């Protein structure tokens, strides 16, 4: 059932991509790439390496303590990290690299919508060499000041090192700030500081001035001011993907990298445009804003509409199926 639903979402996503969208692999880093590792079937988080140019860290939406380093030049896994010193993860959903060079992993998902009274964050130094290895991680207990909830987005501010979590709810969630420094002993209480839309992942820009939050169909980039959202957000033209799960900035902050779940999932680069107006642009297949002087042909518009409806239905089915499978 899971494979059939993923195939449906992937087919819809492919229908939306224009001819010639894929770029040649094995060349420049930080471009579109396909995750080739057959073990990575549910890439649920994405983070650009600080120590290794062109490498992106990801992990499955699962209970195994494994982190994968994927080379954006080839799509191949160049390092598999096994976290030691932590318990069995329940639902790893997010990953980020902090200003201290540490990798933070958010075991923060809760498909039963707040059934667990605490969740966990794991943290370990980004390895200096890219190879399969075991890394010793710290484990932090996390609770929310206003009660348990489901979440899929964890962000570490690149200047202050403060950790933030965005909860996931169809009707809108909350942005939660952790303590100034996480404590490996006791409980780290995260407090609600702002409201957010339906969020599946998020990331801070390298300079810390912006925060991007993505959902299944859209993504917004917000100004960051005084520890909270500084404006109402600007659309960034997220691509249509089978199950849109992850986002991160390129190391230079010039573009966003969008990922999704599924075997051989595609990571798509979307250029930032600081001059883009606040209103939502019309999106061409693949997430690029269309030029007003070159509107899509009627047939292309129809294909996009049909593909979007199929994708929307597939996404709802996949999300529902995942919840049922985990409850079972």
Question: In this predicted model, what pLDDT tens digit does every residue of 20-78 receive, in sequence order?
Answer: 334 444 569 999 999 999 999 999 999 999 999 999 999 998 779 999 999 999 999 99
According to DSSP, residue 281 is labeled P
Average the pLDDT over each of 27-31, 178-182, 222-226, 262-266 and give the range with the smallest value. Answer: 27-31
Q: Quick one: pLDDT at residue 294?
A: 34
Structural contact between residues 82 and 66, judged by C-beta atoms closer than 8 angstroms? yes
304 part of a folded domain: no
Q: Which helix (H) or strand (E) holds 156?
A: strand 151-156
- Higher-pLDDT residue of 68, 2: 68
308 part of a folded domain: no
| pTM for the model | 0.78
Q: Residue 175: which CATH number?
A: 2.120.10
192 part of a folded domain: yes
Give the burial string for 103-133 (b: 16+ CB within 10 Å, else e): bbbbbbbbbeeeebeebbbbbbebbeebeee
pLDDT (tens digit per residue) in 246-303: 999 999 999 999 999 999 999 999 999 743 433 333 333 333 333 333 333 333 333 3
Give me the sheet containing 77-84, strands edge to edge.
Answer: 43-48, 55-60, 66-71, 77-84, 133-136
Place 96 in a pLDDT band, splitting at 50, 70 and 90.
Answer: very high
Q: Quick one: pLDDT at residue 121?
A: 98
Place 155 in a pLDDT band, splitting at 50, 70 and 90.
Answer: very high
Residue span of the structural domain in which 274 resides: 23-296
Q: pLDDT averaged over the chain?
A: 82
11 part of a folded domain: no
- Taking the C-alpha atoms of residue 284 and residue 31, their distance in angstroms, rounded to an integer, is 18
193 part of a folded domain: yes
- Taking the C-alpha atoms of residue 212 and residue 221, their distance in angstroms, rounded to an integer, is 4
How many distinct structural domains can be found in the chain? 1
* pLDDT above 70 coverage of the chain, percent: 75
- Higher-pLDDT residue of 166, 8: 166
13 part of a folded domain: no
Measured from the Cβ of residue 138, the count of other Cβ atoms closer than 10 Å reads 16
Mean pLDDT of 148-174: 96
Q: Quick one: pLDDT at residue 62?
A: 79
130 part of a folded domain: yes
Helix or strand or coil: residue 18? Answer: coil
18 part of a folded domain: no
């Amino acid at each position: 059932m899971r494979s059939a639903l993923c195939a449906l979402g992937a087919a819809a996503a492919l229908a939306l991509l224009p001819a010639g969208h894929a770029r040649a692999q094995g060349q420049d880093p930080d471009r579109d790439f396909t995750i080739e590792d057959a073990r990575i079937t549910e890439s649920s988080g994405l983070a650009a390496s600080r120590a290794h140019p062109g490498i992106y860290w990801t992990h499955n939406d699962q209970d195994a303590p494994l982190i994968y380093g994927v080379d954006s030049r080839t799509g191949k896994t160049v390092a598999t990290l096994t976290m030691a010193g932590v318990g069995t993860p329940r639902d790893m959903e997010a990953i980020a690299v902090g200003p201290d060079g540490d990798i933070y992993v958010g075991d923060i998902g809760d498909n039963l919508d707040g059934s667990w009274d605490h969740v966990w964050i794991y943290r370990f130094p980004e390895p200096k060499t890219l190879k399969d290895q075991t890394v010793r991680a710290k484990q932090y207990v996390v609770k929310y000041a206003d009660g348990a909830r489901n979440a899929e987005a964890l962000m570490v501010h690149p200047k202050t090192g403060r950790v933030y979590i965005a909860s996931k709810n169809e009707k809108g969630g909350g942005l939660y700030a952790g303590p100034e420094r996480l404590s490996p002993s006791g409980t780290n209480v995260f407090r609600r500081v702002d409201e957010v839309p339906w969020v599946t992942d998020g990331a801070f820009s390298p300079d810390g001035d912006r925060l991007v939050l993505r959902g299944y169909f859209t993504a917004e980039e917000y100004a960051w001011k005084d520890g909270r959202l500084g404006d109402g957000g600007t659309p960034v033209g997220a691509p249509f993907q089978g199950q849109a799960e992850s986002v991160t900035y390129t190391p230079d902050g010039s573009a966003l990298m969008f990922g999704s779940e599924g075997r051989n999932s595609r990571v798509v680069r979307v250029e930032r445009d600081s001059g883009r107006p606040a209103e939502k642009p019309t999106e061409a297949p693949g997430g690029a804003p269309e030029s007003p002087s070159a509107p899509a042909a009627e047939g292309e518009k129809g294909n996009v509409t049909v593909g979007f409806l199929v994708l929307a239905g597939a996404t709802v089915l996949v999300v529902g199926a995942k919840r049922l499978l985990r409850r079972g």
